[in-house]
Amino acid sequence: MNSKLPGNKTTCTNNATQFHLSNPPYESYFYSDCHSSSHVIITSPLSTSNLSIIGPRLLVAWPAGNSGVVSFFSPENGENGTLSIRLANSSATGNALEPLYFQGPPGSRNPQVGISGAISFNSSAVLTLPILGSIRTIRDFTEGPSIIYPDLQDAISFSETGDGGATLNRTWLDNTTTTHLTFTPLNGSDSVIIRGEENTTILFGAGTYQFKASFNYSQLHQLSPENVLNNASAGLFKQNPEQTAALSFLSYTNKLLAGTWRFLTYFGRDSMISLLLLQPILSEGEGGAIEAVIGVVLERINSTDGTACHEEVIGDYTTFLNLQKNITSSAPQCDYKMVDTDYFLPIVMKNYLVDTETGRNRSKEFLNTTATFLANNAGMKYAALAKRTAEKIMKTSTPFTLEGGQIKENLVHLKEGEVVGEWRDSTYGLGGGRIPYDVNTALVPAALRSIASLSRAGLFPDHPEWSETADEFAKIWEDRTLDFFRVRIPQSTAVSLIDSYMNESSFPGPSNTEQITSDIIFHGLALDGDDNQPVVRVMNTDDCFRHFLLNTTNQTQLSEFLSQTTDNILHPFPLGLSSSVGLFVANPAYGGDPIYAKNFTRGDYHGTVIWSWQLSMMAAGLAHQLGRCDSSDVPDFCADETLYRKILSAYNHLWNLIDENRLQLSNEVWSWTYDDGFQVEPLGAFTPTESNVQQLWSLTFLAVHKENFPRLKAEKSNKLLIEKDYQL
């Protein structure tokens, strides 16, 4: 049936999409139709919740403008933990949410759109703090030291309505857009009361109240579930209805969004990693999801130096930041502080424009597109912007390739004054390191290989030499970077380090040190870490980048690298990375300094926690390497029966963990508690930094599946090797 829109006679010809995801204490409700998309989150503390972090809250997030509203509630009686809230389904439709659409008076630039629902309180409650406008403003409050911007808060007006309700309005700093939030009593509930010295709080009685949240910002054009997937993947609609609906919620004709509610806008790294893993199922061609991802990155390149944009700043927040510089403008801005985003661009371009028939046929027209998003790029073609990034990569990678140039100083460093620069972009995510492992050992050579391929396809006509030199550069980066990050812990030392970590971290589980039968080997997160550590000695899952992106040919190095990766996957934490709730993205047990146990915990964004997309890329990476055993150029590890069996065992073990945690896989990140074993716990139970309930790169299991590899490859591989020797 068509979705009817209160407020006028306009209807959508296509069915609305709505679904509910439960992840207590968070309940998420999604609604999308032809006019707008909304994500509503009800937070109601559990009896086990940390009440200093989690409190009753209604949050509405909108993809358009990265916008939203939030209302924080507290019990009127002041007893923290006694107030519970929930959404009540409509008695008329049975739905939790209904759309709002008002065309507005003649001359209105945009209609007023949004969402309506019914919120129930188990006892009288006070709306203590509303924030209206930008998701970034809400993030600054929830994740930082409760930052409130008076210029924004003081602009919220409270007024009573004639039906016992109250409305909150705020006009954005652009003096055009307005956000509304209204509460109206239902089913005989008490009228709301506006109170406070400056009328800045609202009192509710126990009962049910309709809320309406709306705004009049320009909307995005969403890709329907049918349009975001290619024809061959249409069966996923029925097989995975919630995940495909979530993918659609984050997908629009001009960009894919990173996640909701916290990252409901463009993030370059996130969208390109997602594309790398999701490409087999995404729609191709003009107006499709793949070109939306590549195009949005090209649009936002810094045309001066070729740097790719990490995060865009749009909507009310960009006006706010401009005003801090005494600039009156709502023009979008870009964050260019990351060092990894550049390298993903040539990889995704090559995978589509060179490796697919549609991409090859579309390459000329697509690269001839004129950029429009940033004023500084106005009039530039996508081809010119792509070339700027490729030129930057070639220039910055050259010093390491020169004779005698394989020194630490010529590796890729974080930018001066920044503590973040790649996906582990929290304050302590790299342990203070300045030279990240993933960027140098995987992303740089993968980007160089892709530049060579793009050049051979004629897509960089001004640089035909790249077809050879980029491959030559890549070989040096592939073979000569791993050793900088290699950590080898002697067996006896490893036992002592884990024992120390157990005391420093108070980890209640077993140490598993009896399983240490040889030296521990891994590659550290970064170089030049905190407390003058030459290598940040934190075991991690970033091996997945190299396994997934590269076909290295240094056979001894490849075999050793696969061996240490699989050991760390198979070994239980804190010996390795494995737990029943997934692979930890960091294991600080071998750090040798209490600072590691302190900064890499189950409450840290990049600590001893589990990220869905890292499970996905590790699974895809091991599958990629195992798949090389059926290629025309079989690696040596395929003929090593013991090593091959171990890799296959780690691959199967990883998939067992993935299957056991299916309920979490769409989440951005999750944590754990330990009581005679690991149990899943939301990250938000330990820190104000919540996990997004839907994250773009956490939907990649729609495309990444377990593959069946034979138990033995040795016979075939040995035969091939014998034939080669015989021919020689």
What are 15-28's pLDDT values in tens digits? 899 999 999 999 99
Same domain, 539 and 431: no
Q: 375 versus 11: which is more confidently predicted?
A: 375
The CB density around residue 582, as the number of other CB atoms within 10 Å, is: 27
Which helix (H) or strand (E) element contains residue 167?
strand 166-171
Asked whether the beta carbons of 700 and 616 are under 8 A apart, the reply is yes
Q: What is the pLDDT of residue 197?
A: 65
The pLDDT score that the predictor gives to residue 2 is 40
Do residue 293 and residue 340 come from a single domain?
yes
Is residue 244 assigned to a domain? yes
> What SS3 state is found at 472?
helix
Residue/partner pairs of 106-112 with CB below 8 Å, 24 or more apart: 108/216, 109/176, 109/216, 109/218, 110/177, 110/216, 110/217, 110/218, 110/219, 111/35, 111/216, 112/7, 112/178, 112/180, 112/214, 112/215, 112/216
- Rounded average pLDDT over 291-315: 98
Instruction: Outline where 31-187 has alpha helix (H).
Output: 135-143, 150-153
Question: What percent of the chain clears pLDDT 90, i.e. is strictly above it?
Answer: 90
- Residues 335 and 380 placed together within one structural domain of the fold: yes
Is the predicted pLDDT of residue 722 greater than 70, yes or no? no
Question: Is 220 part of a structural domain of the chain?
Answer: no
Query: Does any domain span residue 705?
Result: yes
- SS3 (DSSP) at 277: helix
Domain for residue 470, yes or no? no
- Residues contacting 411, CB < 8 A, separation 6+: 400, 435, 440, 481, 484, 527
Residues 516 and 569 grouped into a single domain: yes
CB count within 10 Å of CB 449 equals: 23
The per-residue pLDDT for range 656-699, each reduced to its tens digit, is 999 999 999 999 999 999 999 999 999 999 998 889 999 999 99
CA angle 638, 644, 645 (to 5 degrees): 150
**Residue finishing a domain among 194, 215, 236:** 215
- State whether 237 and 206 are in the same domain: no
Q: Report whether pLDDT(196) > 90.
A: no
All residues at 6 or more sequence positions from 436 whose CB lies less than 8 Å from its CB, including other chains: 339, 340, 412, 414, 421, 422, 424, 430, 525, 526
The C-alpha atoms of residue 330 and residue 328 are separated, in whole angstroms, by 7
> Region 408-422: what's the mean pLDDT?
97
> Residue 467 and residue 449: Cα distance in Å, rounded?
9
- The amino acid at 84: S
Together in a domain, 159 and 240: no
Residue 713 has pLDDT above 70, yes or no: no
pLDDT average, residue stretch 308-332? 96
Examine the pLDDT at 721 and tell me if it is beyond 70.
no
Is residue 345's pLDDT more than 80? yes
541 and 643 share one domain: yes
Domain end (from 437, 469, 502)? 437
Q: Determine contact, residues 107/215, Cβ cutoff 8 Å.
A: no
Same domain, 531 and 428: no
How sure is the predictor about 198, in pLDDT bands with cuts at 50, 70 and 90? Answer: low
What are the residues whose beta carbons fall under 8 Å from the beta carbon of 281, sequence distance 6 or more? 229, 230, 232, 233, 236, 702, 703
Closest among 338, 544, 357 to 430, alpha carbons compared: 338
pTM: 0.94
Task: Quote the crossing angle between the two packed helices 341-349 and 382-401, to the nearest 10°.
Answer: 120
Q: Is pLDDT of 6 > 60?
A: no
Write phi, then psi, for 372 (nearest 5 degrees). Answer: -135, -15
Average pLDDT over residues 712-721: 49
Assess if residue 423 is contained within a domain: yes
Mean pLDDT of the chain: 94
Closest CA to 121 of 183, 194, 58, 207: 207
205, 301: one domain: no
Q: How many other C-beta atoms lie within 10 A of the C-beta of residue 669?
A: 25
Is residue 455 one of the residues assigned to a domain? no
Candidates 713, 706, 546; CA nearest to 623 is: 706
My answer on whether 243 and 208 are in the same domain is: no
- pLDDT, tens digit, 9 for 90 and up, residues 496-518: 999 999 999 999 999 999 999 99
Q: What type of residue is 174?
A: D
pLDDT for 93 equals 87
**% of the chain exceeding 70 in pLDDT:** 96
Burial bucket for residue 604 (CB in 10 Å: 0-12, 13-18, 19+): buried
Residue 298 lies in a domain: yes
Asked, for residue 444, whether it belongs to a domain, the answer is no
Same domain, 45 and 117: yes
Give yes or no for residue 427 having a pLDDT over 70: yes
Band of residue 492 on the pLDDT scale cut at 50, 70, 90: very high
CA dist., res. 101 & res. 36, Å (int): 9
* Residue ending a domain, choose from 163, 186, 215: 215
Three-point CA angle 280, 284, 290, nearest 5°: 75
Distance CA 665, CA 635 (A): 32
Triad 180, 94, 166: Cα angle to 5°: 25
Pick from 476, 425, 423: which is nearest to 448 by CA? 476
Judged against a pLDDT cut of 50, whether residue 725 lies above it is answered with no
Counted domains in the chain: 3
Mean pLDDT within 286-310: 98
What is the band of 10 on the pLDDT scale with cuts at 50, 70, 90?
low
Is 243 found in the same domain as 365?
yes
How many residues are recorded in the chain? 728
Could you tell me the pLDDT band of residue 520, with boundaries at 50, 70 and 90? Answer: very high
Amino acid at 230: N
Structural domain boundaries enclosing 547: 485-727
Cβ neighbours, 10 Å, residue 507: 19
The closest alpha carbon to 400, from 432, 434, 441, belongs to: 441
- Confidence (pLDDT) at 1: 32
